[in-house]
A and B are shown apart, each in its own frame.
Chain A
C-alpha cells in the first residue's frame, strides 16, 4: 500500500531523516518509535505533505506522492492526526469534523460530508449534535476530535501521531483499543507514532525504530524489544537523563 524508499530530509546541514525505506501492507498497524528528535514526526510530515522530501520516493497505491501539497495527499486517502491537537476554536465540534469531511473527501456534497462527520464522531464516541462546542473537551476529548477529523476524510491510511501523550492509563488503553477498532471495523491501515512503548507494542503488528534519522531496527514487537541496539538507544537516553539529574543534585 505504501512504499517508502531512500527517504531523505535535510534542514540546512542537519539531516533529520536519512535514507529510510519501509513498506506498509494493506490492513497493517505499523508502530514507529524512537527517542525525541529521532525523525518520527519529520517522517509523518513528509508522508502527509506538510514537508517536501529532499530525496527518495514515497509511493502510495502505486502513485508517487512525495512533495505533493497536503490537500492532494488527503484526497488520495492519507489522513493524519497532530501530536498536539489542533482544533478550530471558532468552529463547533461538528463543524470541525464536517470541514474535514468536506474538504478531505475532495468536496463532495454537503450531505455526504455531514454523514462522514457523524460516522466519525460516533466512531470515536463524541456527541454528534450540531451545537456542541469544543470548550468542554479535555485532553482525551481533544485527541478524539483529532481522530474524528482524520476519519471524516475517509482515509485508507491513517497517520496517528502520539495518540497517547497527556492521557492517563485508562485513557491510554481506550485510545489503543480505538485504533484497533478503526482497523477492524473500517479496514483502515495505520501508522502509529508513539513515545510510550508499552501500549504500542501490544497493538501493532510490526514496529520500526528510528534513531538520529536512521532506521535501526524493524520487525515484530517481541523481536524489536529484544534487539540490543534498541535497548541501547532507549536505555542510553535514560542513562543520560539519570546522569544529568545526578549532576544537578
Chain B
C-alpha cells in the first residue's frame, strides 16, 4: 500500500517544493544532489548484481569532457554532444568489459581493471593541456545572453531543478524496469555461478555487456548534465578514482539493493562534504574522503544492505527488496 502511494507523494512534494521555498543555495544543493543521485543510481544498475565497477568516474568524465569539447570546438549543441558522449562511454565500456568477461575477470579483479579506466580518463584530461586546459579545468563557452535552450545553458536554478528532477525520476524508472525484467534474474544467476547460468541458456558475456553499456551511458549523461549545470569541469571533479569511489561509497551507504538507496547515499555524502566545507573551510579539504573511507569499511562490515536496505528489511521483513 505505502509502496504504491509513497513515490507519488514524494514526487508531488518535490515538484511543489520550489514554489514554496526557493532560496538559491538550498536549490543549488538540491540540483547537485539530484544529478549525483542519478549518477549513483546509474552505477547501482550494474553494481547491485555484483558487477562492482570503479570505472564510472571514467564514464562520468567522458560525458562531461566530450560534451564541453564538442560545444567549444565544433559548436555542437549538448543535445547532440551528450548522446555522442554516451556513445563514446558505451564504446569504452565495451572495450573494457568484453575482454573481462571472456577471460573471466570478475569480482575484485574486475574492480581493479575498471579502476585503471577511471585513472586513464583522468590522466588523459590532465595531460591534454592544450585541448582540455589540464588540471586548471575547463569551461564551456557561454551562450550569448547567458542562457539558451540549444546551448543547454540556463541561468536560473529553477529550470535546472526541474530538469534534474525529471532526469533523476527517469533514472529511477530505468533501474526499476531493469530490476523487474528477466535480465535481472540472469544477472543474479551470473553473479552466483557463471557456468550454471550458461547451462540455463544465458549468454553471460552479452548480458554483462548490455547492463554495463546501459550503466555507462546513464553515467555519461550525468557527466554531461553536470558540466552544463556547473559550467566548469576539472579532471579530478568529474573523473578519476575519487569520483568512482564516491559513487561506490554513496551507493553502498544508501543501499544498492533498494531503489532509493543511491539517492539517500547522495544526500548523505553531499551534505557531509558541504558540512565539512562550511565548518572547517579549506582546512578540511579532503577530510570528507577520510570520513568516506572509514564509513565505507564500517558499512560493508556492519550494514552491507545500506541504510535504506536495512530500514526496509526491518520494516517489512522482506526476503529481498527491489
Which A residues are closer than 8 A to B by beta carbons? 48-50, 69-71, 74-75, 80, 82, 86, 88-91, 95, 98-100, 102-107, 110, 113, 133, 149, 153
Contacts and interface: CB of A to CB of B under 8 A. Distances in A.
A103 B319 contact: no
B192 A70 contact: no
B195 A99 contact: no
A82 B196 contact: yes
Nearest to B190: A88
A71 B185 contact: no
A86 B201 contact: no
A88 B182 contact: no
A70 B185 contact: no
Interface in B178-235: 182, 185-186, 188-189, 191-193, 195-204
A135 to B, nearest CB: 10
* Complex A-B, nearest 9 residue pairs according to Cβ-Cβ distance, in ascending order: A104-B201, A103-B201, A86-B196, A70-B198, A100-B200, A74-B201, A99-B185, A71-B203, A103-B202
Given A82-B196, A90-B192, A133-B319, A102 B203 contact: no
B182 A91 contact: no
Given A102-B182, A107-B182, A110-B182, A91 B189 contact: yes
Interface of B: 182, 185-186, 188-189, 191-193, 195-204, 319-320
Contact of A86 (B195, B202, B204, B319): B195
B188 A88 contact: yes
How would you classify the secondary structure of chain B's contact residues: helix, strand, loop or mixed? helix
Nearest to A86: B196
B185 A50 contact: no
Contact of A103 (B186, B192, B195): B186
A113 B196 contact: no
B188 A91 contact: yes
A86 B193 CA distance: 8
A74 B182 CA distance: 17
> Which of B196, B204, B319, B320: most chain A Cβ within 10 A?
B196
Contacts of A149: 200
Given A99-B186, A113-B182, A153 B200 contact: yes
24 contacts: A69-B198, A69-B203, A70-B201, A71-B201, A71-B203, A74-B199, A82-B199, A86-B195, A86-B196, A86-B199, A88-B189, A88-B196, A89-B192, A90-B188, A91-B188, A98-B182, A99-B182, A99-B189, A103-B182, A104-B200, A106-B201, A107-B182, A110-B182, A153-B200
B201 A100 contact: yes
Contacts, number: 73
A82 B197 CA distance: 12
A105 to B, nearest CB: 7
Given A70-B199, A99-B185, 16 more contacts: A48-B199, A50-B198, A71-B198, A71-B202, A75-B201, A80-B199, A88-B188, A88-B196, A91-B188, A99-B182, A100-B200, A100-B201, A102-B186, A103-B186, A113-B182, A153-B200
A131 B185 CA distance: 15
Nearest to A102: B182
Given A90-B188, A91-B185, A103 B200 contact: yes
Nearest to B185: A99
> Which of B185, B193, B197, B198: most chain A Cβ within 10 A?
B185
B127 to A, nearest CB: 40
B199 A88 contact: no
B200 A90 contact: no
Contacts of B193: 86, 88
Contacts of B319: 133
A149 to B, nearest CB: 6
B107 to A, nearest CB: 15
B192 A102 contact: no
Contacts of B189: 88, 91, 99
Contacts of B196: 82, 86, 88
A99 B198 CA distance: 11
Contacts of B185: 91, 95, 98-99, 102
A113 B189 CA distance: 16
A47 B200 CA distance: 14
Contacts of A105: 201
A89 B197 CA distance: 12
Contacts of A100: 200-201
